[in-house]
């Protein structure tokens, strides 16, 4: 947002820019291990997410089969 002129900003964007202006020159809080922790968390979440998506897809297919069978009985 620093590339934009103040005239191009909406009132909400101007307020955010004003409030966050003091943080521009400060380093991010935390230690050097933060990036490593975030990457580690993302690494173990990816296979879990894939497994959950697969489980959801299987459950949806089974539910579709049950709906199909129930529809034929009527």
The CA distances from residue 10 to 20, 23, 40, in Å, are 15, 20, 38
pLDDT at 73: 62
| The residue to which tokens 């003091």 are assigned | 22
pLDDT at 59: 98
pLDDT at 62: 97
Helix, coil or strand: residue 32: coil
Q: What is the mean pLDDT of each run of 10 residues along the chain (74 residues)?
A: 66 90 80 84 92 97 94 68
**Domain assignments of the chain as residue spans, ordered by start:** 6-73
pLDDT at 6: 61
pLDDT at 74: 53
pLDDT at 1: 45
Where do the H-state alpha helices sit in 1-74? Answer: 11-20, 33-73
The DSSP symbol for 60 reads: H
């Amino acid at each position: 947002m620093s590339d934009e002129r103040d005239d191009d900003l909406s009132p909400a964007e101007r307020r955010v820019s004003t409030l966050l202006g003091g943080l521009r020159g400060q380093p991010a809080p935390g230690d050097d291990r933060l990036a490593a922790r975030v990457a580690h968390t993302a690494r173990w979440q990816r296979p879990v997410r894939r497994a959950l998506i697969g489980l959801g897809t299987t459950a949806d297919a089974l539910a579709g089969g049950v709906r199909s069978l129930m529809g034929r009985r009527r």
